[in-house]
Structure 1
C-alpha cells in the first residue's frame, strides 16, 4: 500500500512544478484524463467587465447544451463538465487562463474566446499542448492560428462582404468607418474598407477609439463634416454610445453595425434610436429550422430572456464537441479530425469546416424593426 506521506509528497511536487512553470515540460509524458465518471472541457469567456453581456449569454448556451447532452446519456455514460475561466476580453488575462486550462486542468478542448485578441494570443499555447480550440471570434488571422484552432463564428470578411454587397446594390457610394482599436475592430474595419473600396465606392473618413471609451464626439464631428452616406461602427458595447452621439450631433447617415450589435442590452439602451440600424449576422431568430425553434424556446424557458446572437454559436459548438468526444474520448488528435469532418444542421443552419477550421455558416442582413431584431426583408 502506498503510504500517505508518499502521496502527500507527490502532490506537493506536482504543485511545485506548476508554480515554477515546469509542468509544460512534462506534458509529453502525460495523456488527457477525463477523471473517472466525468469528462471535462474548458471555456474561456469575458464573464466580467464591459463585455460580460456577451460572455454570459455564451456561458448560458454552453450550460444549456451541456444539460441536454448529460440528460441524453452524456459522453458514453460520462457526465460532461465545463471549467469556465474569465478572460475579461483581455489578452494577458486570457493567456494565464489558457495556461491553467491546458497545463493544470489538462482539458482536451476549450470553447472560446469570444474576443479575437484573446484567441490570437492564446492559440500558440493551445497548439503547443495539442488542445483543440473552438473560438467564437471573427479576426481573419484566426484562420491561420494553428491546426488545433477552429471557430464557430465566420471570419470578419464574410460579414463585410455581405454588408458591402447589400449597400452597393442600393446605390450607396460613400462611407466612413469608426472602430475600436483592437484585434476585433481593426479586423472588421480593414475588411470593410477593402471590400468597399474594391467595389468602386469611396471611404471618406476612418476614425478609431480605445476599448472602453465613452465620448466619441470628436471623431463623429470629423465624420459629419465629410457627409458620408453610410457610417460603419466596428465596436462592442461602445456602439450604443456611438449611435446615441450620432443622433445628438444630427449625423444623418445610414448606420451599419458589427455583429455585437445584436444583444438585448442594445435594445434596452437605445430604444427607438436602434430602429433601422443595419448589420450582417449569422442567426435569424424565429426561423423555420426546427432545431433553432426548440433552442430558442428552451433558452427562454431556462433563462427568462431571449437568446442573444452569440449564444446559438456556442450551443452548436458544444454539441459538435460532444459528438467528437463520444467517438474520441479525450484524444485531441481524434477530436480535431472529427471536427474537421463535421457535416450537420445546427441551430444557425448547416455547419461544415474548411481546411483552416473556419465554418461555412449562412449570413444574412438584419435590422431593428419595432424594437425587434429581424431579417431585413421581413
Structure 2
C-alpha cells in the first residue's frame, strides 16, 4: 500500500470514529421519548404525549379552535394567544385582562368567553362545578363554534347570576374530531376526571353510539346534535336535547302528503352515516304507513353516484318529490341534486342540509325546499333566547347553538338538585324533571330522548340576508 493510500485510510478511519463518538454523545444527551406525566385533578397520573386525549382537552391553557382565531382581527389573535399563555403560566390576573380585551375586539368568540369565565374562577379561587363539551373541531370547526356559543351563553348566564346554589360553573372544551376512536379516548379521560359532572356531546350519531358504553353507569352525556333512532334507550346515562329522527321523518312525511299533496318520492342518503340511514329509514316507513310510495333510494356515498342521472331516473319513475337525507359529509353531492333538479320536483331535507352552504350553492334552485330542524330563531317570537344571543355575540344563532344551550341548562338544573354524577343522572331521568331552555321546556322520555317537537323551515328569497336567501319557519 502506498503512503498516499495509507494516509487516506487513516483519515477515513478518524472521520468514521468522530462520527461514532458524536452519535453516542447525541444519544446520551438527547431528550428521550419518555412518557411525560402530569397529575389530574383526581390525583391520577396521565401521559401528555401526542396520542394522549388530554392534549385535546382544555380549560383555557391551549387554543383548540383555530377557526375562531382566523376569524378575528390581528389584535384579537395577539390578545387571545397572550391570554392563553398567561393561563398556562398560572398568571390568571393577566389572563383575565388579555381575554377581556380580546373579546372587546371580537365578541363572537365562544372559546375565548369560556376560557375567560374559567380563568375568573381560578383567579378568585372560587369553588366550582365542572362540565365538559365535546365538539368536532378538526372536522367541522364552524359547527363546533355553533355548539360552543350555546355552552358559553349558558355558562356566562349562570355565573353572572351567582352560580348554581352559589357555586360557579367551569367548562372544559374537548376536540373529538367527530371520530369514534378519538371520541372514545376523550370520553375515557372525562370519566377519569372525577370533577366532571356531565358532558355536552357528541356530534355524529355513530360517534355518540360508540362512546355510550364508556359513559354508561359513570357519567351523563347530553347530545344536542345526535338524532339517530338507535340512540333511544341506549344507556340511562345518554340523553339528548335534539328530537330523534323519528320526529323529523314524520314531520316531513306529513308535510309531503298533506301540504304538498304529493305521494311519490325519491330519497337521497349516505349509507355510511348512521344519522343519514336513520332519517332515511324513518322517512320511508312514515311515507309507507301513510299510503305514499318511495320510488327509489340513491346512495350519495356510492362512487358511481351521478346527480344528473339519478334525478332524471327519479322523474322517469314518477317521483314528485326529492327527499335529501344527507349528512354533512355528503352535503356537496346533495346540493348537486338541488342544482340538477332546477325546482322541477318539490324538495324536502333533514337538518344537516340546514346550512349557509345550502343557501350559497343551492341559491335559486333551492327555493321552496322544506327542511326539518329542531329549532329556528324566528319560530317563537316570544322567546328571549335570540335577543340574549345577539347581545352577547353580536350575531344570530341557529338550532345547534340553541340545543347546546339547552343541554347545559339541563345539566345546571340537574346539578342544582344533586351535584354528584349519580345525582345528575337521577335528576335528568326523573319523570318530574323540567327546566326552561331556548327551545321551550326541557324534559326527557324514559329513552333519554327529548320530549319536544320539530320546526319545519322553507328556503325563500331574502335581500336582507348576506346570501340573498334564508330559512323561514313554515306555519304549524
Give the alignment's TM-score, normalised by structure 1: 0.84
CA deviation string 1:142-188 (max 9, x = no partner): 11211111111111011111111121113211111111221110000
Deviations 1:340-361 (A, max 9, x none): 3322432212332111111111
Which of residues 132, 149, 170 in structure 2 aligns to 1:60? 149
After TM superposition, give the deviation of residue 200 of structure 1 in Å: 1.4
Measured against aligned partners, the alpha-carbon deviations of 1:320-348 in whole angstroms (never above 9, x if no partner) come to 2112112212x122111222332243221
Structure 2 CA distance for aligned equivalents of residues 96 and 335 of structure 1: 23
- Cα 1:197–1:77 change in 2 (3 A) is same
Of 350, 353, 359, which aligns to 1:267? 359
Residue 393 of structure 2 corresponds to residue 303 of structure 1: yes
Q: 1:40 to 1:345 in 2, by over 3 A?
A: closer
Say which of 120, 135, 138 aligns to 2:223: 135
Deviates more, 1:156-165 or 1:355-364: 355-364
Structure 2 vs 1, CA of residues 165 and 10 (structure 1 numbering), >3 Å: closer, same or farther? closer
- Structure 1 distance, partners of 2:370, 2:147, is 23
Quickly say closer, same or farther: Cα 1:160–1:301, change in 2 above 3 A. same
- SS of 2:295's equivalent in the other structure is strand
Aligned-residue offset at 1:198 = 1.4
**Alignment partners' CA distance in 1, 2:386 and 2:409:** 16
In structure 2, the residue corresponding to 1:197 is in which secondary structure?
helix
Equivalent of residue 405 in structure 2, options 305, 308, 315:
315
Q: 1:240 to 1:272 in 2, by over 3 A?
A: farther
Question: For 1:212 and 1:112, how far apart are their aligned partners in 2?
Answer: 31
Which sits farther off after the overlay, 361-370 or 296-305?
Answer: 296-305
- Residues 127 and 147, structure 1, Cα contact 8 Å, conserved in 2: yes
- Coordinate RMSD, CA, aligned: 3.1
1:28 is aligned to none
**Partners of 2:127 and 2:306 in 1: how far apart?**
52
**Residues 154 and 37 of structure 1: CA distance in aligned 2, closer, same or farther (over 3 Å):** same
Conserved 8 A contact 1:345-1:351: yes
The change in CA–CA distance for 1:223 and 1:289 in structure 2 (over 3 A counts) is same
Question: 2:438 corresponds to which residue?
Answer: 347
For 2:132 and 2:144, how far apart are their aligned partners in 1? 14
Count of equivalent residues: 354
Q: Deviations over 1:265-285 (max 9, x none)?
A: 432343333321112222132
Q: 1:52 & 1:215 partners in 2: Cα distance? A: 29
Matches within 5 A, 1:128-167: 128=217, 130-136=218-224, 137-167=226-256
How far apart, CA to CA, are the structure 2 residues paired with 1:304 and 1:240? 29
Aligned to 1:337: 426
Unaligned runs of 5+ in 1: 1-8, 22-33
Could you say which residue in structure 2 is the equivalent of 1:15? Answer: 45
1:326 aligns with 2:416: yes
Shift of 1:197: 1.2
**Residue number in structure 2 paired with 1:31:** none
Distance 1:10 1:91 in 2: 25
TM-score by length of 2: 0.67
Runs of 4+ in 1 over 6 A off after TM superposition: 211-215
CA shift for structure 1 position 227: 3.9
Q: 1:253 to 1:73 in 2, by over 3 A?
A: same
Using the TM superposition, give the Cα deviation of residue 38 of structure 1 relative to its aligned residue in structure 2, in angstroms.
Answer: 2.0
Aligned partner (choices 282, 290, 294) of residue 191 of structure 1? 282
Tell me the distance in 1 between the aligned counterparts of 2:143 and 2:306.
22
Q: Do the aligned partners of residues 305 and 120 (structure 1) sit closer, same or farther apart at CA in structure 2, a change above 3 Å counting?
A: same
Contact kept in structure 2, 1:243 and 1:273, CA below 8 Å: no
Of 183-192 and 219-228, the range deviating more from structure 2 = 219-228
Q: CA contact under 8 A between 2:300 and 2:334: conserved in structure 1?
A: no
Distance in 2, matches of 1:196 and 1:153, equals 22
Give the match's secondary structure for 1:310: helix
SS of the residue corresponding to residue 255 of structure 1 reads strand
CA 1:14 to 1:363, structure 2 compared with 1: closer, same or farther past 3 Å?
Answer: closer
Larger relative contact order (Cα-Cα within 8 Å, sequence gap ≥ 6): 1
Unaligned runs of 5+ in 2: 1-36, 53-121, 462-468
Could you tell me how far apart the structure 1 residues matched to 2:367 and 2:427 are?
A: 42
Q: How does 1:249-264 map to 2 (within 5 A)?
A: 250=342, 252-264=344-356
Deviation at 1:289, TM superposition (A): 5.4
Determine the structure 2 residue equivalent to 1:39: 129
Q: Which has the larger radius of gyration?
A: 2
